[in-house]
Structure 1
Amino acid sequence: MYKRFIKRVFDLILSIIALPFWFIILIIIGPIMYLQDKGSIFYNSPRLGKNGQIFTMYKFRSMKMNAPDLRNTDGSTFNADDDPRLTKIGKFIRKTSLDETPQLINIIKGDMTIIGPRPDLPEHRELYKGNEARKLEVKPGVTGYNQAYYRNTVPWKERIQYDIYYIDNLSFWLDIKIFFKTALSVLKREDIYVSENSTKSSKSKSAGM
């Protein structure tokens, strides 16, 4: 019942409540983004949705126009505090996660949910092995298990297994835990950037679940 109906109702209610606040953010940040390099305010990118359907995911643009696409060795997107591709306002919206707020539109459209696995690029589907395609059994989320408990400290393949754990244990209470843990991580600005050499134990953080 929760997974099939109530979760969608909560998504719509919370997104509609948040929409006026997002418009305020847009009015403040949008002109600053444009004036810094005269580029588009939004960055729209194709992503894998539920059952592998491709949709357009919306973000505020944090990088300079025509910035090169850099990847980590596991195929995930490269990001770092000293990334020269970031604009000045881009660094700020990355650290505060404001760059993700346009995904409220994706939630209202039904492409995404508030809590769920973060969506991969379409080409990543070819890299799935074993049970990894199970990640596509649910709608992707603005935040999820990984973002709440690990953010960018674990490799992409490991993140997929945590996504599958979330799918197998999806419940109202797990979503509540993820929601508030994400809020805490954003406020503390923890683990924002990818660390390929991270050796943090998954057991130590999973114990909190």
Structure 2
Amino acid sequence: MIGGLVLSPIFLGVLLVGFAETGSPLFRQVRVGRHQRPFTLVKFRTMRPDTPSVATHLADTSAVTRLGGFLRRTKLDELPQLWNVIKGDMSLVGPRPCLPEQRALIEARAAQGVFIHRPGITGLAQIHGIDMAEPERLAEWDARMLRSFSLPAYFRYIVRTVTGAGRGDRIHSRD
């Protein structure tokens, strides 16, 4: 409750600027959750509304809006996912939820037993800059995090994310 009050001015500010920039400041996308069940993830929009719904590393860099670039760098685009945490679809810490089309990642995570846990806003792979462009490696780091999970690690991942560790999912240039 207190966190919501503290974050509400930031949330409102981003909503207003996002509405002015794209007319649609929130982005909803179906993702794969616990036990491979689909759920709708909510984020601040960082790309033009007409951008195809693909994994970030497959998106075109020109699709990122000016506000979107700032939101990605500061990780503020993730704030609306707190709603997914409140609903029980996600945890603050866990493997980042993937798209249903990311078959290689889904298969690698299934083999590692990752789907028995809720996906999260951040985790070990994210603070080390490992994104969905490397499905096997990402699944290995997700499983590693879950095998050694502890309360101190949970808070360490959150603090490292808030203080800027990792780069988030990158849009890779296609030269």
Check whether TM > 0.5. Answer: yes
Alignment-derived partner of residue 110 in structure 1: 88
Uncovered stretches (5+) of structure 1, i.e. residues with no partner: 1-15, 71-75, 197-209
The number of aligned residues is 172
**Of residues 134, 138, 156 in structure 1, which corresponds to 2:113?**
134
CA RMSD between the two structures: 2.7
CA contact (8 A) 2:84 2:90 kept: yes
Structure 1 segments of 4+ aligned residues over 2 angstroms from their partners: 123-127, 129-133, 149-154, 183-186, 190-196
Alignment-derived partner of residue 137 in structure 2: 158
Query: Aligned partners of 2:53 and 2:95: how far apart in 1?
Result: 22
Query: Aligned partners of 1:79 and 1:106: how far apart in 2?
Result: 24
Residue correspondence of structure 1 range 157-196 to structure 2 within 5 A? 157-185=136-164, 190-192=166-168, 194=170
Alignment-derived partner of residue 201 in structure 1: none
Q: Deviations over 1:134-162 (max 9, x none)?
A: 12110000100111223549723201110
For the structure 1 residues 24 and 132, does the alpha-carbon distance in structure 2 shift closer, same or farther, using more than 3 Å as the test? farther
Alignment-derived partner of residue 21 in structure 1: 6
For the structure 1 residues 69 and 122, does the alpha-carbon distance in structure 2 shift closer, same or farther, using more than 3 Å as the test? closer
SS of residue matched to 1:122: coil
**Of residues 40, 47, 53 in structure 2, which corresponds to 1:63?**
47
For the structure 1 residues 162 and 55, does the alpha-carbon distance in structure 2 shift closer, same or farther, using more than 3 Å as the test? same
Uncovered stretches (5+) of structure 2, i.e. residues with no partner: none
Aligned-residue sequence identity (percent) comes to: 29
Query: Aligned partners of 1:68 and 1:195: how far apart in 2?
Result: 13
CA contact (8 A) 1:149 1:181 kept: no
TM-score norm. by structure 2 comes to 0.85
